[in-house]
Amino acid sequence: MGVRSIVATTAGRAVRAILHGLMHRAGSQLPGRMALAIDPQVVAHLRHKARAGSVVVCGTNGKTTTTNVIAAALEAAGLRVLCNRDGANMLPGVASALLPSHTADWAIIEADELSCIHILPQLRPTYLVLLNLFRDQLDRSGEIDHVQDVIVQALAASPTTTLLVCGDDPLCMGVAERAQMTGTTVLAFGIDEDLGLPGDRVPEARFCQRCGTELSYAYRSYAQLGAFRCPSCGFARPELDYRATNVQLGQAGVAFDLACDDTGTLRVNVSDGGVYLVYNLLAATALALRAGVEPATFQQALDGYDPGNGRLQHLVVDGRPVVLNLAKNPTGLNQNISLMLADDRLKAVHIIINDEANDGHDVSWLWDVDFERLAGRPDVCIVTAGGLRANDLQVRLKYAGITAQIAAQVSDALTRADALPAEDPLYVLTNYSALWPTKAELEQRSR
């Protein structure tokens, strides 16, 4: 490490100490930003702190959960981990995560898709996990084609990185095929059976990544993920290196057998979530096994996993169960709708849509969500709309056949939910910028 990186690291650590010690703030970006200002290559110099290697997790949905589960599993196995647990997933957040003075065995890093191009050349991770690609924040990220190009370039700049990719997602496989051509090693995971789920909307990737022919599916698990095949050119789901079978989905959570050639079969289960979580856990399990975590240790870590980070977080407010979840794009909301409909209790639903910079200013995507599935359901008793774009959401719901009142505050939504017996839940779904204030308010009221 050169003088410049030493100065950068010291300065970053000082900022971190001030934020932590004096201001009691987590400071997920600022220390890294300070270090990068002094040494733009500081991440390249800090990467050796993770002695066994590093993992970068990216994809439109599920990054934070997958990152946190991998980190928890490695720690349960007695390994030391550096991790941007709070989801500060651009280069400054990564630098912050690597700043602590102790070394570690692994760095487990969540990365924004477009930031991969800055993170990978410096960090040179052992693995890049690519979970899925959905349409999200077009005004900020551009079209999916662009996101794919960026990830391919990032992998080309980090030739020793192995790509662990969702083989069920044609968009991720489009990236994998191109990366493979420039020498990237690719491992694929996926669900190796027909779950018999009712098909939801496929907003993208209906057409072959190579030749443009409409893809055909033996089965789909959700959105564009499934056993796809192009009838004309042979672009298809690859042989899976990590396969989920005997998948169980329901109110009891999700469970599946993970089969791979190295370790045989193991059962993974968690008491929450829907089909999307099978994919996140498949990726996390595969990674943990490759890092040497014993299957039993992984399951123990999962049993004790409760990050309290607003991702499917359960609280009790004034005696009422509240489920808080992030939903920031059509696929995320569609998956949340599936989760709610799998819960047969009466329920109130509060959806918060903001249009701040980190949400995307354009809320057109609300019209790609299948809110129609909530209409006419006797168990969906109360629907309220909140956030800066509550009015847009209310109109969308009206055209879906749902009468929604505006609830400016989450407390208003709780008050309206009082029309239901106390044991019936309130689901609170929010996009990005409203997540933390909503979580804080709910947590305060649940004390």
Partner 1 sequence: MGNGRELQILHLYPELLNLYGDSGNILVLRKRLEWRHLGCTVHEVHMGERASLTGIDLVFIGGGSDREQRIVCDELQRQRSELAAFVEDGGVLLAVCGGYQLLGHSYLMGNEEVRGLSLVDLYTDRGSPRLIGNVMVESRIAPQPIVGYENHGGRTHLGARVEPLGRVLFGNGNDGKSGQEGCLYRNVVGTYVHGPLLPKNPGMADWLLSRALERRGDTGELEPLDDTEELAANETMRKRLL
> Where do contacts with partner 1 occur on this chain (CB under 8 A)?
138-139, 143-145, 203, 206, 212, 214, 361-368, 391-392, 394-396, 398-399
Question: Is the Cβ of residue 368 or residue 443 nearer to partner 1 in the bound state?
Answer: 368
Question: Is the Cβ of residue 54 or residue 148 nearer to partner 1 in the bound state?
Answer: 148
328-334-339-344 Cα dihedral, nearest 10 degrees: 130
Token duo for residue 246: 């005997």
Question: Is the Cβ of residue 91 or residue 369 nearer to partner 1 in the bound state?
Answer: 369
- We find the least distance from the C-beta atom of residue 370 to partner 1, in angstroms, to be 11
Cα distance between residue 331 and residue 136, in whole Å: 9
- We find the least distance from the C-beta atom of residue 147 to partner 1, in angstroms, to be 12
Which residues partner with 352 through β-bridges? 386, 430
Q: 194-197 — which CB contacts under 8 Å span 24+ positions?
A: 194/218, 194/219, 194/227, 195/219, 195/221, 195/247, 195/249, 195/275, 197/221, 197/222, 197/249, 197/275, 197/338
Question: Is the Cβ of residue 145 or residue 318 nearer to partner 1 in the bound state?
Answer: 145
- We find the least distance from the C-beta atom of residue 198 to partner 1, in angstroms, to be 19
- We find the least distance from the C-beta atom of residue 145 to partner 1, in angstroms, to be 6
* Helices 91-98 + 3-17 axis angle, to 10: 90
- We find the least distance from the C-beta atom of residue 28 to partner 1, in angstroms, to be 27
Cα distance between residue 38 and residue 119, in whole Å: 17
Which residues partner with 268 through β-bridges? 256
Question: Is the Cβ of residue 257 or residue 370 nearer to partner 1 in the bound state?
Answer: 370
Distances (CA, A) of 43 to 25, 107, 161, 264: 23, 11, 16, 37
Question: Is the Cβ of residue 203 or residue 310 nearer to partner 1 in the bound state?
Answer: 203
- We find the least distance from the C-beta atom of residue 347 to partner 1, in angstroms, to be 23
Question: Is the Cβ of residue 77 or residue 147 nearer to partner 1 in the bound state?
Answer: 147
Question: Is the Cβ of residue 80 or residue 210 nearer to partner 1 in the bound state?
Answer: 210
**Residue closest to 222 by CA, chosen among 278, 175, 266:** 278
Backbone torsion region of residue 308, taken as left when φ is above 0, otherwise alpha when ψ lies between -120 and 50, otherwise beta: left
- We find the least distance from the C-beta atom of residue 373 to partner 1, in angstroms, to be 14
Asked if residue 276 lies in contact with residue 62, where contact means CB atoms within 8 angstroms, the answer is yes
- We find the least distance from the C-beta atom of residue 171 to partner 1, in angstroms, to be 13
- We find the least distance from the C-beta atom of residue 360 to partner 1, in angstroms, to be 10
Q: Which residues are CB-neighbours of 277 under 8 A, at least 6 positions away?
A: 62, 65, 254, 270
Question: Is the Cβ of residue 368 or residue 441 nearer to partner 1 in the bound state?
Answer: 368
DSSP assignment letter at 230:
-
227 φ, ψ (degrees, to nearest 5): -85, 90
Asked if residue 165 lies in contact with residue 155, where contact means CB atoms within 8 angstroms, the answer is no
- We find the least distance from the C-beta atom of residue 333 to partner 1, in angstroms, to be 12
Question: Is the Cβ of residue 207 or residue 292 nearer to partner 1 in the bound state?
Answer: 207
Alpha-helical regions (H) of 314-379? 330-342
